[in-house]
Structure 1
Amino acid sequence: MGKIVISETVSLDGVFQDPVGAGGFRFAGWFDQLTGADREAWAKVEFEEAMGAEALLMGRRTYEWLVARGWASRSGDWPDRLRALPKYVVSSTLEDPAWANSTVLRGDVMDEVAELKKQVDGEIVVYGSGQLVLPLIEHDLFDELRLMICPFALGEGERLIGRIGDRKSLRLAAGRTVGDSLVCLTYQPGASA
């Protein structure tokens, strides 16, 4: 049985909107504030996560953004790993996926993800994909929420779980410092201990 792992990089106040400056958000590109040891440590954690994944799940915009940034054709261990992984893209409009090993999921999102969990044995990692992450959280269709928290607050912007319709209880499963000033927290659904 598959395990849905939502993996997001967020600001201290939970903003995940436009970390690399692709969209017109006032603080677009906020991730670029990370430098040196923090950026290298972040990349190491993300690479290790990709190595432990059995598949990727994402929305169309995240998928197209990764393809446009060359992840489908870059060389190196990390891009090679992402290229080799099965990629499942939730979209009603994507016609011809350009990245190797990509499958478009067109039906009801909750049904498609539930079926995917039955088909894949291991971690199915979700990157970005704000429009997909919200229903996964609201319908309790995730097994872990991994947050890489950057050491700055933005004060505005779209928050990862700022739009859910009801309260959710999560249990802290793990926490660690990454680099000099990042924190990686792993939560699982369920009441706190």
Structure 2
Amino acid sequence: MGKIVLSTNVTLDGVVQDPDGQEGFELGGWFHQFVGSGDLEAWTAAETEEAQGAEALLLGRRSYEWFASRTPSMADRVSSTWADSMNSLPKYVVSSTLDHPRWRNTTVLNGDAAKEISELKRKVDGQILVYGSYQLVRTLIDHNLADELRLVVFPVVLGTGLRLFGETCRRKPLRLVDTRRVGDGLVSHAYEFVSVNPV
């Protein structure tokens, strides 16, 4: 049985929008503005370990296209081990418009998202990693398909911007399973989603 792990970078006030500054958000680019060189090295090592521990990658279309346009040629700019892991993982993209995926090992899920992802969880034995894909993340949370949430918190408050959690159909309790420092200025938190029986 697969375990869906949501993994993302986030500001102290929960903003996930435009970390690399390429989406046109006025406060975008916070990833590189608020990460030190030692932090970046530690972050890359943690991301590499995470990717190596995954059995598959699950993405929404926009995040898929972002990674597909960069990761195959990232070996010279970031950890080549991370890029190699990402390139070799089986990839599943939820999209009704993507016809010809260009990243190798890609399967398009173009039917009922919740049903197809449930089937994917039954098929994959191990961690199914979700990066970015915030609309998909909300669907996974709303349908109780997410098993773990991993946040790397950056030391900045933006005050505005797209946040990871939008409106959900009900409360979502979580259990803290790990907290650790990443470099000198970042903190990683891992939470498990707690199943709640309806009253």
Distance 1:189 1:57 in 2: 18
| 1:1-193 correspondence runs (5 A) | 1-33=1-33, 34-69=35-70, 71-75=71-75, 76-190=80-194
AA at the equivalent of 2:41: E
Say how many residue pairs are matched. 191
2: CA distance between counterparts of 1:12 and 1:40? 21
> Quick check: 1:171–1:191 contact (8 Å CA) kept in 2?
no
Change (3 A) 1:73 1:181: closer
**Contact 1:72–1:100 under 8 Å retained in 2:** no
Indicate if the aligned counterparts of 2:36 and 2:185 stay in contact, CA closer than 8 A.
Answer: no
Aligned-partner SS, 1:3: strand
- CA-atom RMSD in angstroms: 1.4
Is 1:57–1:125's contact at 8 Å kept on the other side of the alignment?
Answer: yes
Query: Aligned equivalents of 1:78 and 1:38: distance in 2?
Result: 16
Amino acid at match of 1:55: A
Per-residue deviation, 1:72: 2.3
Q: Which amino acid aligns with 1:185?
A: H
Supply the AA of the counterpart residue of 1:92: S
Shift of 1:161: 1.0
CA deviation vs aligned residue, 1:133-178 (integer Å, no higher than 9, x gap): 0011111111100011111111100110133232211111111111
Separation in structure 2 between the aligned mates of residue 35 and residue 72 of structure 1, nearest angstrom: 25
Identity level (%): 56
Gaps of 5+ in 1: none
Poorly superposed stretches of 4+, deviation over 4 Å: none
How far 1:24 sits from its partner (Å)? 1.7
Give a deviation string over 1:59-78, Cα, whole Å, max 9, x none: 01001011222x12443221
Deviations 1:7-50 (A, max 9, x none): 01100111101101121211111111212111111111111000
CA distance in 2, matches of 1:136, 1:156: 24
